[in-house]
Structure 1
């Protein structure tokens, strides 16, 4: 389901089962593995494989992965990021929608990092359908991290869906299209601040932590990529500005998200106009929010306050 793969400097270039000297995949390894398996990157699954070991190691480093950490990887592709995560000592649950890639991944790990095979679990599934029943170990874990190179067209839905379904999902480091990264990390008042920005802020805080050039991919995409780091809010958070209760029942979150969708569905209109069928004048007054403002100026706390006021109106 993703873009991935690594390396321009590996010494293992054959597609057989001979021992390899390097633990991470190089560009020649990737092409050899793909050719041997009859795999070609497809636009359908948004596949662009990373061909630089330094890039996948950087992703793992930015994610703060430590030995024995529980990690969910979406779209492992041919396995370069998977190997980098295993190299760091993580226990990896890799969710792959492409059956050919999913079946190949255990063999690649067995060949390049045999001592880590017991720390890899492969799930052949669409990440958007993933539930606690599919990954009970992660669902029961105190916390786990999502580390992934996400397809550009479904990056935002995947992140928001997994945050909604998995309370232990505590930290995220994803590589996405630069424009997507900018939107996810945008702040109120900016032109790129939109529904994804606000909804992600419901769960925690996001920031861009680096850019990735096109040359590290095979095939090279037509856009640059960037890394986004996300940390979930906790009730014990020391930041007094965090007033959103991310443990709130689903109906409350749905009310807030409905206001966000309506406000940004007509972002040029004032809140009074865009939310006229959803929010009463008295609710604006009770929430202390001027109805002549536009949605792009509101924080997640203000959207939450407005939804709560309307529920009591």
Structure 2
């Protein structure tokens, strides 16, 4: 495996050969350190039977590491030049028969695109779309049992934050709907080309074995409304969603939640309880555009 991985000189040579210049628009920062690739693969905890979904394989650094540890790798790459070049790069260094390249936008893929079905998501995600990509893939790929993603450190902190944390918000709750998550380490800027101006963080997650008996969309509406105005109590923050502050208070009391609490203090289970109570009482669903804007997970 050591000989198969790409180092800094090989990354730059390959990029020059392809005429590729990393773009900020696509969030391209290529890992060029083999030890970091080994670390990510090891932290992912893959088995020889796992089918891995990798988003944004770029020049193939992580792809090569994953091919040595998994049964198959699906690589979703939005850049057509990189997508076309990846099979050749892999064929020179690994078993290309274990790779399927999907020239596509990861935010638009569906389960029908992948055979065999992915069981793990392992990726160095573009910073600008990391949260929406993770949430979308967990929603459309029920076969994913977990994963390990590398994202901007600030985003990693949000994804793994628990109730009461200063950075607990929409990304934290929505990921918690699907999975339990934990921080799996920090990655310094120096292992990337070009070098980003921020640290990266690894986030490991495992899908929940049991979900909640309430529609996801209904719960996410409550979450969006609760965090749209972070300083307000839930009674006030959910007023627009419930059809009035009085109705919001009625829902919260029925759910066993203090109306004077704030969204930052609620677990995903409590948000689910609020959505369920609203459904029973016939309230909810009047979320404003202000709340909707948080669907990208940046709150």
SS at match of 2:206: strand
Residue number in structure 2 paired with 1:175: 150
Q: CA deviation at 1:125?
A: 0.2
Stretches of structure 1 that go unaligned for 5 or more consecutive residues are: 1-9, 11-21, 236-243
Rounded Cα–Cα distance in structure 1 between residues aligned with 2:141 and 2:67: 22
User: TM-score if structure 2 supplies the norm length?
Assistant: 0.89
Rounded Cα–Cα distance in structure 2 between residues aligned with 1:274 and 1:283: 13
Residue number in structure 1 paired with 2:99: 120
The equivalent position to 1:82 in structure 2, one of 63, 68, 72, is: 63
Residue number in structure 1 paired with 2:40: 59
The equivalent position to 1:275 in structure 2, one of 238, 258, 270, is: 238
What's the RMSD between the two structures over aligned residues?
Answer: 1.2
Report 1:2-151 matches (<5 A).
Answer: 22-113=3-94, 116-138=95-117, 144-151=119-126
Q: CA deviation at 1:284?
A: 1.6
Q: CA deviation at 1:87?
A: 1.5
Deviations 1:79-102 (A, max 9, x none): 010000011243000000000000
Residue number in structure 2 paired with 1:192: 167
User: TM-score if structure 1 supplies the norm length?
Assistant: 0.86
Stretches of structure 2 that go unaligned for 5 or more consecutive residues are: 282-299
User: 8 Å contact 1:71–1:146 — kept in the other structure?
Assistant: yes
User: 8 Å contact 1:203–1:232 — kept in the other structure?
Assistant: yes
Residue number in structure 2 paired with 1:16: none
Residue number in structure 2 paired with 1:310: 278
Q: CA deviation at 1:68?
A: 3.0
- 154-163 or 127-136, which deviates more: 127-136
Rounded Cα–Cα distance in structure 2 between residues aligned with 1:203 and 1:87: 28
SS at match of 1:153: helix
Rounded Cα–Cα distance in structure 2 between residues aligned with 1:269 and 1:205: 27
SS at match of 2:149: strand
Rounded Cα–Cα distance in structure 2 between residues aligned with 1:264 and 1:43: 29
Q: CA deviation at 1:67?
A: 1.7
Rounded Cα–Cα distance in structure 2 between residues aligned with 1:171 and 1:104: 28
Q: CA deviation at 1:71?
A: 0.4
Rounded Cα–Cα distance in structure 1 between residues aligned with 2:71 and 2:58: 18
User: 8 Å contact 1:284–1:306 — kept in the other structure?
Assistant: yes
User: 8 Å contact 2:52–2:70 — kept in the other structure?
Assistant: no
Rounded Cα–Cα distance in structure 2 between residues aligned with 1:172 and 1:89: 13
User: 8 Å contact 1:65–1:90 — kept in the other structure?
Assistant: no
Higher percent of residues as helix = 2
Residue number in structure 1 paired with 2:223: 260
Deviations 1:47-83 (A, max 9, x none): 0111110101111111111223100000000001000
SS at match of 1:40: coil
Rounded Cα–Cα distance in structure 2 between residues aligned with 1:71 and 1:128: 17
User: 8 Å contact 1:183–1:193 — kept in the other structure?
Assistant: yes
